[in-house]
Structure 1
Amino acid sequence: MQRSAGRAVRGVVCYDEHSYHVVTLRKDVAQKHDEAYFARLTNRFRRVAPTNADETTFELGELASSLHVFEDALIMHLPCGEHEGILISLEQTVGRQLVGFLGDCRTVLEAGTQGHPAESHF
């Protein structure tokens, strides 16, 4: 992962049903966040981890990962079972094109078109 994303990797956290483990954390990120921050972060993603029933709802196969775009970072969530997963925090530069596309989509949605926004813009 470090070879692919380099310094853009902000941190990696593994979690299970009851605990979490910070695998790696960039120094500047470690200085900004305490243990309570990582407890809140992992608790939030534990709640959104898919169940086996959720994974097959759309007939697309099992959920491999999800991407959460925040103002200051991207978080990739890789569920590894019903109560376990890996969180990878990355700089937005890693997904610049995707973040740009998502920004364009949000601009369209915020423009307040009549009817369904996708009908006139996509």
Structure 2
Amino acid sequence: MNGTLHRTTDRTHLTLVPTSVPTPTPTPTVAELERLVAHPAPLRLTRRGRLVAVVLFLGALLAGGVLFGSTSTRASGEAGPARSYEYVIVQPGQTLWGIAKEVAPDDDPRATIEAIRRLNALPDGGIQAGQRIALP
């Protein structure tokens, strides 16, 4: 609202005079509401919003990989097929190289040694007499 300034002899008074009468907003019709619901405005993301969406998506992928990528069971909860391994008891003077040559004489011993190490979670190539080792 704008005001008009009126001067009197002894004082200055400010009188508020409305310049326009506010028009009430029309109530939308049922057809207009149905059109708005059927065809909503497209979602617009700002640069910052896109960045947040990408970071959240990558975080979800990372969390999914950490939580589900390192499990050894199936997602359905079923146990995998039972594997049976042959075991050997390491004799004095026996090495992984010798065991690998006995297990797979036609294969490269280095690959067989690596498979034995992974299967038995051996930190290095050292084994001790009396140790029980699963063979691939």
TM-score bracket, shorter-length normalisation: under 0.3
The answer to which structure has the higher helix fraction is 1
TM-score normalized with structure 2 length? 0.20
The answer to which structure has the higher strand fraction is 1
TM-score normalized with structure 1 length? 0.21
Q: Which has the larger radius of gyration?
A: 2
